[in-house]
Structure 1
Amino acid sequence: MPPPTQIPMSAVDRAWLRMDTPENPMMICGVLTLERPIPMSRLKHTIEERFLRFSRFRQRVVDNGDKTYWQDDPLFDLDNHLHQIALPGKADKAELQKLASDMNSSSLDFRRPLWQMHYIDNYDGGSALLVRIHHCIADGISLVRVMLSLTDKTPDPKPGKVAPRRASKTKQRSPVQRLLHRVVDNTQAATSQARLFIQSMREEPSYPIKLASTASSFVVDLIKLGLAPFEPKTGLKTPLSGRKQVSWADPLDLAEVKACSKALGGTINDVLLCTVTGALQRHFAANKEAVPERGIRVAVPFNLRPLDQPIETLGNKFGMVLVTLPAEVMDPLMCFRQVHENMNSLKQSYQAQVTYSLLDLFGRGPDILERRALELLSNKASAVLTNVPGPKEALYLAGSKVTQPMFWVPQSGNIGIGMSIFSYAGTVQFGITVDKAIHADPNAVMNYFHESFKALNHAALAGRHKRTKQKTG
């Protein structure tokens, strides 16, 4: 019997695999609340037809010395990954949050493919689906798209064609074949780059200068990242316990957020980041803790994959940028302007490309190098913040309407707070996960999100009214 096919794991995916620690399991976790219960048989059929067509979800991780591979699980069984449970009594949001907290604190089974789903009965008159997937399989944006591919735009869609599950195309090669394959790939890449360079030279004589300028900017941003000071010591940065507390807020009206951003002359993202800043200000005030003079930094994933690119290959294709939230600026309008300036500056930088390149480097090197580098970088942020655009219309899973979707990405190193923003069907969802050792009440922080947005929105509308009055006067 031939040995099972092993597919080498990319260096970046391997870096995320090795970040897994007891304090911070590297899982992307999602909760979809559903309007009504769904038949387990229909859910299984949907998962088999749409989720398992990605071969990665049937493969387990195999370590072989200094190399890591994907290998088909010979004992794969959907029942090892999909579980049906029920919440006790008259289960409400608090009970579901408690369950999500427990699951967020528990590692996946590395003997099997690294994902699990729990279908949850008896939740608020309907049901819910809790999903956990290891970060080494793919980045958050890809996995959100995979999860949404399970859904439909109507409760009873017409049967359509679904792409068949693709068998692994990678074949075992001898060392000589692998060497020749690399040489051919490198030669083709070099030829392609040379052709592009010559073409750019003809079309734009200043192209070499721009190329040198880009390289130099990349190096400058690498140095800036390395020299960035550590985060100040606050209650947000404490030794972690590994137990997570999860919470989410009632959604905001996306139309209100858009109107606020228009009144302020910024983007929706600027408004949401300012809202996060205001929530942190309220947290510090409630805990009678001084706000750091230079604000709080959060690590924000920056997508490097075209949004229209097919998700067949999965994998991680994003970098991280360090965003300074001016929590020391108490005036909402001044805070917004500072957030707007910070984001405009980051858009011109190469931080995301720098961190992606570093992850690629760490994934190829020894484990100890990655651990030390990760410790260094995680000391430069107090939280991870994700902002993922979702579908504009409501969706249905196995015939039941998805009423509220939430997703969280893991934190790495000694970062113990993860905040998520997700737009869905004309709403903006806020979620948070906090390590239990950090003195922050996740439910209180979620309330602060609403208070913060109301304050900013009120200031924006008052400012617009004042400007209109001055013009008409």
Structure 2
Amino acid sequence: MSLSKTLMSAVDRSWLRMDSPTNPMMISAALVFDQPIAINRLKRTLNERFLCFRRFRQRVVHEGDRVYWQDDPLFDIANHIHRIALPGHGGKDELQAITSDLNSTSLDFRRPLWQIHYIDNYNDGCVLLVRIHHCIADGISLVRVLLSLTDKTPEAKLSRLAVPTAVPATATGNSLRRFTNRVLDSGQAALEQSRLFLQSLRKEPDYPLKMATAAGNIVMDLIKLGLAPFEPQTGLRSPLCGRKQVAWADPLSLAEVKLCGRALRGSVNDVLLCAATGALQRHFRETGEHIPNCGIRVAVPFNLRPLRQPIETLGNQFGLVLVCLPVEVDDPVMRFRQVQENMNRLKRSYQAQVTYSLLDLFGRGPDILERRALALLSNKASAVLTNVPGPKEAVYLAGAKLVQPMFWVPQSGNIGIGLSIFSYAGTVQFGITIDRAIKADPNAVMGYFRDSFAELKDAALQRTEHRAAVGEV
């Protein structure tokens, strides 16, 4: 009986091929809990809620030019859960050191591409360090998967999900079924698109013109992306060594961030991007490095998956946009306005759809083409920055309360810095990962982030008070 296998999508294959010794393509999370978790209870939760996603039981296999997901015949959850402990009275420094070490280590490609390290002896609780390869799914999907392990109360309700069993099938049967489904899906999609086109044409006679305009805008965004200048040569862009350093800041109050955004008539995302910009500006000043007068760019993942879409299937459904951070602007409010304008311009563009299509194209072509294109694109950003919304209320895993979640995104090509923002239970978590070859202190940058936010908040409140004094609010 042959093992069941599924052809990997072109986009997921792109992320698989981006894996390198200097930049393992892993999304990692450090989840801090207020008390220890019983290992047997953790395994039961994973069996019922994590392994119901078949991808976590499958390994990657190569057959010629094709890449498949194949059921692991030797799958054992014990191969993926490892128990370790911090030395002595483990604190933040010790946890950051072991997280840095594990985030510098590639996953085992002989097995399904995920690992969980249960870390004992951290304060009075424990930590789960989760590492999952990017080819399995994008960050937003994986965050939702990890949150599916949790409950709103300490009393877990297991057995709400069942682990699907593999259905034996011949390779011929699988191929025929996939071909038939593909034909039917294509035919249904064509009919649906035709119906929607005719419906739109009846409602809007100028609909074809709008479609042509959108197509022209997409082409223009592709040209702009290709012609965008390379990043200025700063200390943030050095040849990488592959050893990572991670750090995180003490959480901010989400209510204060929202208050700051309202005072400046902007969004939470604008506030946090502005704080990150100020942190990088402070880094340049503290190291005595010249600040680029045209700003620096960061690659920001842009979700293309409907947030309400069920996570029954994984995979990557996002594009990348290049956001300019005005590190050369000294005034915090002016810096905020520039960030806001840059983000609004990108929201009206098709850059995310363009980069997603490029990933799909590269995944179908030869490896050398993708690596050359990746080198070209990675020269146009100094860092990767992601902002993922989390639960508004605290959640529990196997009876233990999640008190602090941190996430780190992988970097690709020669980018050596990843910035991660995650909102959770009324707080905003900010984390960073930096290649050791880059001359930057990750803990110092985290301090600069908090200082930058405090500076922006004070300026915003002063403006609110001034508007109130002159009767504008």
Q: TM-score range by the shorter chain?
A: over 0.9
Structure 1 pair 105–277 and aligned structure 2 pair: CA distance change class (3 A): same
Shift of 1:191: 2.3
Query: Which one is further off, 421-430 or 146-155?
Result: 146-155
Instruction: Report the residue type matching 1:368 in the other structure.
Output: I
CA distance in 2, matches of 1:61, 1:179: 22
Which AA in structure 1 matches 2:267? T
Mapped contact 1:419–1:430 kept (Cα < 8 A): yes
Q: Report the Cα offset of residue 442 of structure 1.
A: 0.2
Cα deviation, residue 159, structure 1: 4.8
Tell me the residue number matched to 2:316: 316
2:440 aligns with 440
| Distance across 1 between alignment mates of 2:292 and 2:33 | 41
Contact 1:53–1:166, Cα closer than 8 Å, also in 2 = no
Distance 1:212 1:91, change over 3 A: same
Mapped partners of 2:20, 2:280: distance in 1: 27
Q: Are the counterparts in 2 of residues 29 and 409 from structure 1 also a CA contact under 8 Å?
A: yes
Alignment of 1:142-161 (within 5 A): 142-159=141-158, 161=160
Decide whether the 8 Å contact of 2:29 with 2:407 is kept in 1. yes
Post-superposition CA distance 1:146-199 (Å, at most 9, x none) = 111111111113456224426479873477776665444433322222121111
CA distance in 1, matches of 2:105, 2:169: 33
Aligned to 1:326: 326
1:409-458 Cα offsets, whole Å, 9 max, x none, are 10000000000000000000000000000000000000001100000000
Matching of residue 276 in structure 1 with residue 268 in structure 2: no
Match of 1:116 in 2: 115
Contact 1:152 1:397 in 2 (8 A): yes
Counterparts of 1:183-332 in structure 2, within 5 Å, are 183-332=183-332
User: What CA distance in whole angstroms lies between the structure 1 residues aligned with 2:237 and 2:334?
Assistant: 26
Matched with 1:364 is: 364
Percent of counterpart pairs with the same letter? 69
2:45–2:158: 8 Å Cα contact kept in structure 1? Answer: no
Find the aligned partners of 1:472 and 1:56 in 2 and give their Cα distance.
56
CA distance in 1, matches of 2:307, 2:123: 34
- State the secondary structure of the residue aligned to 2:339: helix
Q: How many Å separate the matches in 2 of 1:40 and 1:82?
A: 9
Whole-Å separation in 2 of the counterparts to 1:322 and 1:378: 10
Which residue does 1:60 correspond to in 2? 59
Please report the RMSD computed on the Cα atoms of aligned residues, expressed in angstroms.
1.6
Letter in 1 for 2:197: F
Q: Aligned residue for 1:16?
A: 15
Show structure 2 runs of 5+ residues with no match: none
- State the Cα distance separating 1:126 from its structure 2 match: 1.1
Q: Which SS does the other structure have where 2:36 is aligned?
A: coil
Counterpart residue number, 2:98: 99
> Secondary structure at 1:71's aligned position in 2?
strand
Which residue number corresponds to residue 455 of structure 2? 455
- Distance change in 2, residues 1:385/1:472 (3 Å): closer
Task: Quote the residue 1:391 is aligned against.
Answer: 391
Q: Which amino acid in the other structure matches residue 99 of structure 1?
A: I
Distance 1:394 1:170, change over 3 A: farther
CA distance 1:421–1:177, change in 2 (3 Å): closer
| 451 and 176 in structure 1: CA distance in 2 versus 1, 3 angstrom threshold | closer
How much does 1:301 deviate? 0.2
Aligned residues: 472
Distance 2:311 2:296 in 1: 34
CA contact (8 A) 2:410 2:418 kept: yes
Residues 156-195 of structure 1 aligned to structure 2 (within 5 Å): 156-159=155-158, 161-165=160-164, 167=166, 172-173=171-172, 182-195=182-195
Once the 2 structures are TM-superposed, how far is the Cα of residue 312 of structure 1 from its aligned partner?
A: 1.1
1:42 maps to amino acid: R
Is the contact made by 1:54 and 1:166 (CA closer than 8 Å) also made in structure 2?
no
String of CA shifts for 1:189-224, please: whole Å, max 9, x gaps: 222221211111112111111111111111110000
Which range moves more in the overlay, 240-249 or 166-175?
Answer: 166-175
Measured after TM superposition, the shift of residue 3 of structure 1 is 1.4
TM score, norm. by length of structure 1:
0.97
- 3-state SS, counterpart of residue 468 of structure 2: helix
Tell me the SS of whatever aligns to 1:88: strand
Native 8 Å contact 2:248 2:430 kept in 1: yes
2-side partners of 1:183 and 1:392: how far apart?
Answer: 43
Distance verdict in 2 for CA 1:100–1:234, change over 3 Å:
same
CA spacing shift, 1:247–1:177, aligned 2, 3 Å: closer
Deviations 1:266-302 (A, max 9, x none): 0110000000000001000010011101101000000
- Please state whether the residue corresponding to 1:151 is helix, strand or coil: coil
2:52–2:162 contact (8 Å) kept in structure 1: yes
CA distance in 2, matches of 1:169, 1:346: 47
Q: Distance in 2 between matches of 1:134 and 1:166?
A: 23
Distance 1:296 1:313 in 2: 36
Q: Distance in 1 between matches of 2:100 and 2:349?
A: 36
**1:65 shift after superposition:** 0.6
